A and B are shown apart, each in its own frame.
Chain A
């Protein structure tokens, strides 16, 4: 029965191979039989050796990874519009890989018994499938392998067992916009072309064949040094011969080739030899972008994109980078700085793209504030978004209009941030909430109210505002808010006591016998809550201590402790221990989060080694001591007991 839902399904699948070549009759025939499957993040779609499902899957929303659980390798990453779980149905065997929802997903389950006859009838579909099976990927590249796909149904395909790891099969994308000059061009002319086109290398051709290449380095080494005059022909300075490769070379191949010949550019030619014409050029930069193991390259890539979805792809590389850093045991302070920088760049780009989407430019200056962990530069994994917007004061009659504009903009931005992987804040502490998108004056009165009337809620609210950083826009607005906060706090010293009390409210990490206290019930029963039992007490304590010294502009927790150690030499040892503990715990959390693909907040104690448990417990000693210090210093018990 054709209905609205099947039309909706058909409307989606018709854009993606192999369905894009189907006629509308077959398309609807398929769509009417589709199952719409919802999968929670991290749930399994099928396991290794699980018998075939009656459906294969197309990702409608979200992303799915195909894994080899024994080596915990991710072999493929399926995004919206990608199909998976099809080969076992054709090969008539159990699943060889595990499919897991990498994000919250909606999948279309497409029935194989309806699809098979349609596929058999349609030659293009057959070719697509054969190619995708032969190349062992979703996106077929290897055109050379041909076989009778349908005649050997049931026969074991040997290919299946072959395991391919991602970067190896990923093709290097090269620049197809070639800029060339002939061997007789003068050096000056070549340099002019390069400056005009803003490129770092130019290909030298003779009779349409690539014969040499000139890069910025050649100008430096051979022209500016005086070796050749700028009137000489490029032939005198070009690097020759060029290293050529056929297209469809993988990233790893490209990298090896560059290392082997100690060069930074490869020329892609029709048949892979210098005897055919050039198709494109592949630079070291292209390789680095594809590999994503270099933050500078990633920043550049983020800044270049004009589509929010693209940023989401790049953020995936950021995660690869992060796990690499952790593996190499790079100091966490440094890792956090780099990742925070990358996150900031992403947010900035999202804000910029969102502004471009608005009908008009912002009517007045504004600032986009990152709150919470991002504000403290302690956010390594994707977490909830906490943000706020402040704009310049405007005449009263313009306020409603201006507020409307910025709310509209904030909605676009929060949506964009959601697209790139930041969950919406469940407490709605986001600039898209009218109470978090205010003019400077409105913010000031709100902050004064919080600080002057410090009930437990107000303390929580204002504590958020001591850990913030500028993500985009006018620093002046943010400074003005900070100044206001500090002035107001001075007038209400009791506020610090309330803040101190708040810092002591986190539950204790260990029980009476120094055993770990685990959650008693709920989904995380018997797990250890690393965030609220270990990290939060440290973060809260650092905040109130640094405020009592009126130190602003440091929002990062371990940097706060380092500053405290400097200010109070008698407590230096404790503060440094706290600084170390914060970093160690955050590293722990990030490792756990990467391993389990979640926020890393809850830890299964049984999975920890003895050594890791000892390490954790050592940090608890610092927590206990810093809490004692706060109790004494702010006389919390006397006043509020």
Chain B
């Protein structure tokens, strides 16, 4: 693949446009920030061997999600792992219109821009996306990333009795915040649940005295 034969000079235009966005300074005001909340469905858990089946994302601007502006794409597969199909219900060449990996990435970069990426257990989704980018001769994503699994824990009061669990699943968050689990295990459905959870977490954290983007990243 094109991992080594592409020098930074021959990066495609869409990458350059994407990278250029990060040269501008962004607003310091938290309420002006744009968030892209995403989820990927994959054939498995290996960054190297498994592939992204679909990417779903919603954009939050000023605590508002526009239904028109959601991101929902399905990728063509060469590799096909039977075992994960029952989780996602995504069959290879199913009814959904699928596009190539490189086109999906191009569309995604265009969609995400320099927004702050939010995902539940973001490490996994970022790993899958970055591996896919590198496979196609591009570099890793430049965006700031927030993990709802991590920032949720900041809402909990630390007490002797209750050690926060090291890990909260998206289902647990949905339960805590009374979010309907409809469309769970589709990329866009999970992205939406994560988005609502994210908004609710933020509103609870805003009361903290040193609340800022920096605080969330700590």
Q: Which residues of chain B are near A61, meaning CB under 8 Å?
A: 178
Do residues A9 and B67 form an inter-chain contact, with CB atoms below 8 A?
yes
The docked-state distance in angstroms from the alpha carbon of A458 to that of B159 is 10
Is B67's CB under 8 angstroms from A36's CB? yes
Contact A31 B67 (CB under 8 A): yes
Q: How far is it, in angstroms, between the C-alpha of A89 and the C-alpha of B67 when the chains are bound?
A: 21
A-B pair number, CB within 8 angstroms: 105
- CB neighbours (8 Å) of A521 from chain B are 209-210
0/1 interface trace, chain B 137-171, chain A, CB 8 Å (1 if under): 00000000000000000011101111000000000
The reply on A106 being an interface residue by CB < 8 A is: yes
Q: A4-B183, A8-B182, A8-B183 are in contact. Are A429 and B161 (CB under 8 A)?
A: yes
Do A39 and B63 form a contact, CB below 8 Å, given A4-B183, A4-B188, A426-B155? yes
A38 / chain B contacts, CB cutoff of 8 Å: 63-65, 196, 199-200, 203
**A523: nearest chain-B partner, CB-CB:** B207
Q: Does B117 contact A (CB under 8 A)?
A: no
Tell me which residues across on chain A come within 8 A of B209, comparing CB atoms. 521-523, 525
Question: How far, in angstroms, from A81 to B194 measured CA to CA in the complex?
Answer: 23
Chain B positions within 8 Å of A429 at CB level: 159, 161-162
B192–A5 touching, CB < 8 Å: yes
Residues of B within 8 A of A11 (CB): 182
- Interface assignment of A37: CB less than 8 Å from any CB of chain B: yes
A426 touches B63 (CB 8 A): no
Closest-CB distance, A1 to chain B (whole angstroms): 7
Given A38-B199, A523-B207, do A1 and B68 touch, yes or no (CB 8 Å)?
Answer: yes
User: Within 8 Å CB of B56, what residues of A?
Assistant: 4
A522 touches B160 (CB 8 A): no
B189 adjacent to chain A (CB < 8 Å): yes
On whether A104 and B200 interact (CB within 8 A), knowing A39-B63, A521-B209, A522-B208, the answer reads yes
Chain A's closest residue to B158 (CB) is A427
Q: Does A40 have its Cβ within 8 Å of any Cβ on chain B?
A: yes
Interface size class, chain A: 35 or more
Tell me if B203 and A33 are in contact (CB < 8 A).
Answer: no
Q: Which of A4, A32, A461 contacts B161 (CB 8 A)?
A: A461
- The chain B residue with its CB closest to the CB of A6 is B67
B157 touches A427 (CB 8 A): yes
Interface flag for B186 (CB, 8 Å): yes
A61 CA / B180 CA spacing, docked (Å): 11
Scan A498-521; emit 1 where CB is below 8 A from any B CB, else 0: 000000000000000000000001
Task: Contact check, B67 vs A433: say whether CB atoms are below 8 A apart.
Answer: no
Known: A5-B188, A427-B156. A36 touches B64 (CB 8 A): yes
Is the interface on chain B under 10, 10 to 19, 20 to 34, or 35 or more residues?
35 or more
| B79 in the interface (beta carbon within 8 A) | no
Listed residue (A6, A39, A40, A415) with the most chain B CB atoms within 10 angstroms of its CB: A40
Give bound CA distance, A419 to B177, whole Å.
11
A352 at the interface (CB under 8 A from B): no
Query: Would you call A3 and B63 a contact (CB within 8 A)?
Result: no
| Complex: A250 Cα to B99 Cα, angstroms | 61
Partner of A35, one of B67, B159, B176, B203: B67
| Chain A residues in 8 Å Cβ range of B182 | 8, 11
The reply to whether B162 and A33 contact each other, CB–CB distance below 8 Å, is no
A59 to chain B, nearest CB (A): 14
Encode B180-218 as 1/0 by CB contact (under 8 A) with A: 001100101100100010011001101111110000000
B72 at the interface (CB under 8 A from A): yes
Contact, CB under 8 Å: A33 / B64: no
Q: Does B36 contact A (CB under 8 A)?
A: no
> Is B55 on the interface with A (CB-CB < 8 A)?
no
State whether the Cβ of A46 lies closer than 8 Å to any Cβ in chain B. no
Determine if A280 is an interface residue (Cβ-Cβ < 8 Å).
no
**Which chain A positions have C-beta within 8 A of B67?**
3, 5-6, 9, 31-36
**Nearest-CB distance from B159 to chain A (Å)?**
5
**B196 to A106, Cβ gap below 8 A?**
yes
Q: Please give the residue numbers on chain A whose beta carbons come within 8 Å of chain B beta carbons, in ascending order.
A: 1, 3-6, 8-9, 11, 31-41, 61, 104, 106, 109, 415, 418-419, 424, 426-429, 433, 435, 455, 457-458, 460-461, 521-525
Can you spell out 30 A-B residue pairs with CB atoms less than 8 angstroms apart? Answer: A4-B183, A4-B188, A4-B192, A5-B65, A5-B67, A5-B70, A8-B183, A9-B67, A34-B66, A35-B64, A35-B67, A36-B64, A38-B196, A38-B199, A109-B64, A415-B175, A415-B178, A427-B159, A427-B162, A435-B162, A457-B161, A460-B159, A461-B159, A521-B209, A522-B207, A522-B210, A523-B206, A523-B207, A523-B209, A524-B207
B-side residues, CB < 8 A to A, are 56, 58, 63-68, 70, 72, 155-157, 159-162, 175-176, 178, 182-183, 186, 188-189, 192, 196, 199-200, 203-204, 206-211
A-B pairs, 6 with minimum CB distance:
A522-B209, A457-B160, A427-B157, A36-B65, A38-B199, A38-B63
